[in-house]
Chain A
Amino acid sequence: MTHPTDTPLYPFKESPSQTAGPYVHIGLTPNFCGISGVYDADLGTAMVDDRTKGERITLQGRVIDGAGNPLTDALVEIWQADADGRYPDGREPGFSGWGRAPADAKTGMFRFDTIKPGRVSYPDGRMQAPHINIWIVARGINLGLNSRIYFEDEAEANAADPVLLRMDLQERAGSLIAKGGGGSYSHDIHLQGPQETVFFDI
């Protein structure tokens, strides 16, 4: 007779992650790394067009390692709500909600041209502050890192955000807040050290 614990409740385990490696651009941004003629354009480079509602913003930043050096081989993706706080379902024209950007090969700078997201509800009904979800992969990163980017000029909303209010990240909440205003924000991600960015297990 089979003991109940010999039969797994769920048939499969998630495929384990592996690093994206130093040549991630070949697969995810081939035109950026000089492989032209396969895809018309790299995915995730154009998030907005003339039809998109909302305040245009630029978001620039770097991913910085434990020695203080920017990663020049990182790739970041963002996922965000539209100006009304709705995540696109792929059917509305004018806003993808999703962007992908490689770090600059010399400076490590990544850049997104997008819009300021609206507020999205939390499962308990409270409203979250405007935020952009970010996912970071690179050589040396074995499992993609999840974080969020909030905005310095949304202090009132940030003060009521259910995630930013968590006791276990209070002393480091500043690491999640992009600096700037007037449509231009900068945000560095620190992988290690005294300024280490908060990363999430979601």
Chain B
Amino acid sequence: MKNSQPSVANYFTRDRAWHPQAYAPGYKSSVLRAPTRALIAFGNSLSETSGPAFGHDIIGPLDNDMILNFAQPGESAIGERIMVQGRVLDERGQPVPGVLLEFWQANAGGRYRHKKDGYLAPLDPNFGGCGRTISGGDGTYAFRTVRPGPYPWPNGPNDWRPAHIHISVFGHGFAQRLITQMYFQGDPLIPICPIVRTINDPKAIEQLTARLDMNASAPMDALAYRFDIILRGSRSTLFENRLEGN
């Protein structure tokens, strides 16, 4: 059966020197988990340029509020109350509306609510550590949480992760799928972290570092950090099947 859907634009080629390398031995887990053969490249078909769509109906009222979404009624998570705000844009600076963002993090003491995390810092009974939202029509998103603590991990003999929030984001095409981590401006653990250092370009690391945004903070309530997320842009298809993606 002939597929009747139109062909859409190719995405900009991923700059794999800007992204972290697969084999980055300072991050020991990557050694046995990095492909050794070259990736095979091909132009995008609908398999790559289409992707899942998520409706606002999946989002509950507290899904973007990690201070409250696991807390007992009348209680809230312990820690530095922050809001994270930003925009999802593509490499042309165009807003990317209506895409699902998912977040997860440790609590204020650096402890994850996960059975494989045996760190001695305690769990917070009012903190689960997961949140999600969908970007607005102008690509903006926001969530509220407590600032996560750093934590030690078994890599080098004394390695500590900087405070960070994991972020998963969908684009409009499956080829835009991305997971990354957000760090906090001024954290001295950033430049010595082996996972951060899987990225070679200091400007790329800077792009993952959220900045304090006093103008967006809520006085007497919560500080704000600004973190924009950039997804792959799409090429114009002026001389292909039809105009799309402009």
A201-B130 contact given A12-B230, A26-B114, A140-B30, CB 8 Å threshold: no
Q: Is the interface of B mostly helix, strand, loop or mixed?
A: loop
User: How many residues belonging to B are interface residues under a CB distance threshold of 8 Å?
Assistant: 93
A-B contact pairs, 18 of them (CB 8 A): A13-B18, A14-B14, A16-B18, A16-B204, A16-B205, A17-B180, A19-B30, A24-B166, A26-B113, A27-B104, A38-B128, A85-B1, A96-B52, A121-B7, A121-B45, A123-B45, A138-B33, A202-B11
Is A135 a contact partner of B42 (Cβ separation < 8 A)?
A: no
For B183, the closest partner residue in chain A by CB is A18
From A67, A86, A127, A145, contact of B35 by CB (8 A): A145
Question: Interface code A98-142, partner B: CB below 8 Å = 1, 0 otherwise?
Answer: 100000000000000000001111110001100101010111111
Is A141 a contact partner of B40 (Cβ separation < 8 A)?
A: no
How many contacting A-B pairs (Cβ < 8 A)?
A: 278
Is B3 a contact partner of A121 (Cβ separation < 8 A)?
A: yes
Distance in Å from the Cβ of A25 to the closest Cβ of chain B? 7
- Interface set of B (CB-CB < 8 Å, partner A): 1-5, 7, 11-16, 18-22, 24, 27, 29-37, 39-48, 50-55, 58, 60, 63, 69-70, 89-93, 102-104, 112-117, 128-132, 166, 168, 174-175, 177-181, 195-196, 198-199, 201, 203-205, 207-208, 229-233, 240
Q: How far does the alpha carbon of A199 sit from the alpha carbon of B37 in the complex, in Å?
A: 9
Is B178 a contact partner of A144 (Cβ separation < 8 A)?
A: yes
Stretch at the interface among A51-59, A152-160, A161-169, A179-187: A161-169
Q: How far does the alpha carbon of A18 sit from the alpha carbon of B12 in the complex, in Å?
A: 19
